[in-house]
Structure 1
């Protein structure tokens, strides 16, 4: 581990990503599913667009012209690996929306020893990683026709996460994040408990479930799942884009528009949760917003408190939200950032205990390999004990890590 001369704390990143190795599902599912389970095929790209927040790739046939890439094939889905999945090590001006193969990506994207080496280069001790092919909360399997196979795929991903990605070779430095079968809250609750029994303390969920055709958090539909999280101390982790709909303004808006306003879904989602009554019904429930940044939070809390105080009589929340939303936020919600100098200047209006740090490896927004330098530049005005809390202390408490910042392993 490179500790350098810097006194900046070793980072615990609560939002990195893994590009799943090709054998995750082929190696774990019954043989009868070998031809239908997710698998990698190398094929040319016919065409691809990314406008209005919508990603549309078209896979070519063998012999077609076009750049070759590795594609995940599952039921009718053809999903290529792209440079945006793993951009670290590539000059930012050279990052394009293009298909790639495993050989064209940095090995730390999918290989545990290589990932640990890249974490060393970046002053990172430990990392919680969101998936790529399943998408940020397992939407890929939620959309599948064969629900029996989809459930097996969710469980296989979780087994791979615990046993291999976060297994002995990771030495406690990779922190598991489980998926759930979103289409069935009872099955989701069972999967939360299955993984909590082996030490998993975080589960991915959608920022705005109705965008996936699922019930909102204002219904009772999710109560079995939320009860399981409440009872096991499992954090509900929501990544931007986990509603399969990135914010945009029009069908022809370039990707840069959506990139500026990625926080918007987190903003809408947080208001949903604060005014849902769930935090009062499930007092141990904690949620976190990955890659949502934090600078927008103070105004939303101010506005939510005003609405709760002045308009709750007709606003439909008087019977279920009995405390100011800002109080509920302080106890239950955590914002995550990698580059938000404005938010750090307004830390007192957010709450020291509600802020977590991330590096977003290996995405194009990642601060790798300069996350320490970025953190030092943004947090240089803060006392050392405050920086310690933001960079590692809050994550240790929230995710049940050891005092040294490591995942303790299967229970």
Structure 2
């Protein structure tokens, strides 16, 4: 499928929109990420692609269920699977959805040939970014999941650490190297099972220019220590010292808000911002932002319409519940102070948030295209953005489209 940039509409032609710096896109990893880098003894068990026939693919909560059937069967269809230890994960159209109308963004299993090439190929991705008025893009992982949970859950920790480092080496040297340098922004994962190793990996990559790392919005949902325990301090210290932004994508706790186990996925999709809201309260009352005043947080794909009330409520709790609800010595300023100083929201469609931009904080908001997921606005992002910002000043439009992202990520752009 070949698409070109849409013709400008009357609305679009009346205003100059700066090229976007998208702080939340995704990479469908190509076949060689791990196989090209792992020692020979690990290649048969390390991450690798296999083509299998799959049937009855369904989504239940945060889990997928499916049946692998015989290759000669008339049931199901062929799909490319990422295989690692005992894990088998099929590729699905909802995570490779660009180019398809909404009704065709389904759970259909896919092969790499059936995806748009920009999902996994650097040259094609840069071309798709040009079509979409996008100068630079920060990409989250797919097979490792949003904060590397796949390797944290693995059995062999030696292999898992090698996989984390292999992914980061590929991200920095290949995906963000060559023609991608300056346009594809490196985002690394860390070994979450060891905070000291995580700190080491942050510093190793910061030494070669990386300024962004993924982390879980709610670590205890991954059976990891909470941010209140002190366990993560070496990691937080490394991020603060190296100006590395901690990016927490919705779903990075492997659990999405839902009312019941049998609720349709549309319930979870509607409530997806809830974990970001809970995470923000966690961070604000933990005192971590006080102890590390240069640390920066980004709530990727968390949207922003909920933020004004969340801060209003947190400030009220800070004033009225000082005697018992938190350590007032650890949080000497109102929560909104720390949000304004250190936290960034991220949106792709949020008209309500834009109407309340002053209360959110125009300097605290970044923008994304979510390529190639089913929420992506590609290839119409410029028009979608233009229609949302008609009431904003040129200065504020610049901040949202790219300026805040450049400042957040310390990018050498403009």
State if a TM-score over 0.5 links the two structures. yes
Give, in angstroms, the shift of residue 61 of structure 1: 4.3
Q: Answer yes or no: is 1:343 the counterpart of 2:392.
A: no
State how far apart, in whole Å, the 2-side matches of 1:56 and 1:230 are: 40
Give, in angstroms, the shift of residue 98 of structure 1: 1.7
Kept in 2: contact 1:44–1:66 (CA 8 A): yes
Q: SS in structure 2 opposite 1:315?
A: coil
Coordinate RMSD, CA, aligned: 1.4
Give, in angstroms, the shift of residue 323 of structure 1: 0.8
Q: SS in structure 1 opposite 2:79?
A: strand
Kept in 2: contact 1:53–1:258 (CA 8 A): no
Give, in angstroms, the shift of residue 67 of structure 1: 0.9
Kept in 2: contact 1:58–1:78 (CA 8 A): no
Q: SS in structure 2 opposite 1:84?
A: helix
Give, in angstroms, the shift of residue 24 of structure 1: 0.5
Q: Decide which of 24, 30, 34 is 1:21's aligned counterpart.
A: 30
State how far apart, in whole Å, the 1-side matches of 2:345 and 2:356 are: 13
Partner of 2:112: 102
Matches within 5 A, 1:295-374: 295-374=305-384
Q: SS in structure 2 opposite 1:172?
A: coil
State how far apart, in whole Å, the 2-side matches of 1:151 and 1:224 are: 18
Q: Decide which of 51, 55, 67 is 2:64's aligned counterpart.
A: 55
Q: Answer yes or no: is 1:83 the counterpart of 2:62.
A: no
State how far apart, in whole Å, the 2-side matches of 1:310 and 1:58 are: 54
TM normalised by structure 1 equals 0.96
Kept in 2: contact 1:262–1:292 (CA 8 A): yes
Q: SS in structure 2 opposite 1:40?
A: strand
Give, in angstroms, the shift of residue 88 of structure 1: 0.3
Give, in angstroms, the shift of residue 92 of structure 1: 1.2
Kept in 2: contact 1:52–1:249 (CA 8 A): no
Q: Decide which of 230, 235, 241 is 2:245's aligned counterpart.
A: 235
State how far apart, in whole Å, the 2-side matches of 1:104 and 1:262 are: 28
Q: Decide which of 3, 9, 17 is 1:8's aligned counterpart.
A: 17
Unmatched tracts of structure 2, length 5 or more: none
Give, in angstroms, the shift of residue 55 of structure 1: 2.4
Matches within 5 A, 1:392-411: 392-404=402-414
Give, in angstroms, the shift of residue 351 of structure 1: 0.6
Unmatched tracts of structure 1, length 5 or more: 405-411
State how far apart, in whole Å, the 2-side matches of 1:224 and 1:294 are: 30
Q: SS in structure 1 opposite 2:298?
A: strand
Matches within 5 A, 1:117-266: 117-266=127-276
State how far apart, in whole Å, the 2-side matches of 1:61 and 1:343 are: 50
Q: Answer yes or no: is 1:72 the counterpart of 2:82.
A: yes
TM normalised by structure 2 equals 0.95
Q: SS in structure 2 opposite 1:155?
A: helix
1:137-180 residue CA offsets vs partner (Å, 9 max, x unmatched): 00000000000000000000000000000001214110000100
State how far apart, in whole Å, the 2-side matches of 1:71 and 1:378 are: 38
Give, in angstroms, the shift of residue 85 of structure 1: 1.3
Which range moves more in the overlay, 290-299 or 244-253? 244-253
